[in-house]
Amino acid sequence: MNKPDRYRYPAVMGFDDETKMFYLLWPDLPGCTTTGKTEDEALKNAAEAMSLHLWGMEDDGDEIPAPTPLQSLDLGQYEEDGCRVVAVLIEVWMPSFRERMETKAVSRTVTLPGWLDSQAKRAALNYSQILQDGIMERLRISRTVTKRKKSRVRESIKN
């Protein structure tokens, strides 16, 4: 699947009088929503929420829908109890977000026999490093390859 560097989607932004929070939702991205105490916070959260939602769709191999043109949105269907909503365009730059998601640390639970754990602690072994090395060895991935991949991603972000 060809992954574009940039996505731009219209979102519906409103204010919930009950919670005193601004909210955003995306007509083209069901399930993608966010909130914020201020407009600025909601818009900042919107970029993160949309990036994460689209990254998840890419990762799952889901088809990414085309964005609805702003002039085609029917905002009336999103207004409740007389509360007005507005349409805003949210744009995200995906290469840096993808890199962050690929390189973020994830936690995994590992089960070891007690005697082995004791020996490893006495030797001051770094479990995370050993697990990474072992998985890379099993998958025949070298650290040189992963470093080159990171530098290629960083180069594409600069250009």
pLDDT digit string (tens) for 33-87? 999 999 999 999 999 999 999 999 999 999 999 999 999 999 988 887 767 899 9
**pTM of the model as a whole:** 0.70
| pLDDT the model gives residue 156 | 55
Buried/exposed code over 106-134 (b: 16+ C-beta within 10 A; e: otherwise): eeeeeeeeeeeeeeeeeeeeeeeeeeeee
> Which CATH architecture describes the domain 6-94?
2-Layer Sandwich (3.30)
Domain assignments of the chain as residue spans, ordered by start: 6-94, 105-158
